[in-house]
Amino acid sequence: MKLKIALQKSGRLAEGSTEMLRKCGIGFSNGGGKLRTESEDFPLEIFFLRDDDIPDYVADGVADIGVVVENVLAENPKKVEIVEKLGFGRCRLSIAVPKVFEYGDVNDFAGRRIATSYPKILGEFLAKHKVTADIHQISGSVEIAPSIGLADAVCDLVSSGSTLFSNGLREVETVMNSEAVLISRMGLDGSVAELLAKLLFRIRSVQAASQNKYILLNAPKGNVPEISAVLPGMRSPTIVPLAEPGWVSVHSVISEHDFWDRVDSLKSAGAEGILVLSIEQMIR
Ligand code: PRT
Ligand code: ZN
């Protein structure tokens, strides 16, 4: 019995998907542009597909699970379950206008033509704001639509913003934020569900590790209560005596997102020689 996963064959999600599985201890080869392969480390059968086709394959049960992006699912909803956000492939779907467009708010799109590959998502956004615009669906090179007179604005995926900038466009509204998600077919059960649970446990451990850092520091013993208050750790910090009397080494896990604020508090609490290491896995 194997868990069947659908991954993007090549493109922006391919590397993130392979990397995620590798960190979960699941390696595989995709040499020679194969469309199907198996992992030697985990009962996993892998299909390589276009990202747009993955929700269908999962909904139809050809694959049990798959990696897709939220914008693809929202534009073309399928009967699948979103199991976990994966934190890569991040971008946003935004409306952008030529620099000369004097933009105030969404009402300025009333009666205007907006070019997009995401007519459904854009339509829902405009309806929510009670704005009626002319949605012009095109499948690619959306950013050039205003300069060739095809549209007054565009609604497209943005990551760094450099594509918009180099086409003389300015981002004015975020329609949705998107990232890669793991989806599964409905009603997964039995040993396949068990394999998914096992995989998910690994994915969550990898994600927890990437969101945390291991921190070591030295401090006078008397400062430990103040330092511990800044460093909750998984249970509580580990305190190890140093060779120098009256000094200890404090070890703990710290969240990446408020990391710098905590480091400042630690220094004020008397911490010295602070070392910060990345964590490979974090098993809870
Ligand atoms: O062949 P297949 O159908 O599998 O691939 P694809 O061509 O449909 O998709 P791919 O690999 O290009 O993108 C897959 C997903 O990656 C998208 O659906 C998004 O969710 C996500 N993603 C993340 C992006 C971007 N970042 C992104 N920057 N998708 C597209 N872009 C394009 C955007 O359309 C624009 O042309 O990059 C340009 C903007 O980039 P910046 O950095 O200049 O802002
Ligand atoms: Zn695609």
Query: Chain-wide mean pLDDT for the chain?
Result: 95
Tell me the pLDDT band of 78, cut-offs 50, 70 and 90: very high
Tell me, rounded to whole angstroms, the distance of Cα 6 from its chain centroid. Answer: 17
- State how far the Cα of 3 lies from the Cα of 7, in Å rounded to an integer: 13
Token couple for 184: 């599964």
Region 244-272 average pLDDT: 93
Q: For the ranges 27-31, 96-100, 144-148, 160-164, which has the lowest average pLDDT? A: 27-31
Of 228, 215, 183, 202, which Cα lies nearest the Cα of 74?
A: 183
pLDDT tens for each residue of 138-157: 999 999 999 999 999 999 99
In 63-168, which ranges are E strands?
Answer: 65-69, 80-85, 91-98, 113-116, 134-137, 153-158
Secondary structure (3-state) at 133: coil
Is 91 a pocket residue for ligand 1 (Cβ < 6 Å)?
yes
Is 116 a pocket residue for ligand 1 (Cβ < 6 Å)?
no
What is the per-residue pLDDT for 258?
A: 86
Confidence (pTM): 0.90
| Cα-only R_g, the chain | 24
Around ion ligand 2, residues with a beta carbon closer than 5 Å are: 51-52
Is 70 a pocket residue for ligand 1 (Cβ < 6 Å)?
no
What is the per-residue pLDDT for 235?
A: 78
Would you say residue 275 has pLDDT above 90? yes
Eight-class DSSP state of 253? E
Tell me the pLDDT band of 31, cut-offs 50, 70 and 90: confident
Question: What's the gap in Å between 96 CA and the centre of ligand 2?
Answer: 21
Of 39, 86, 45, which Cα lies nearest the Cα of 67?
A: 86
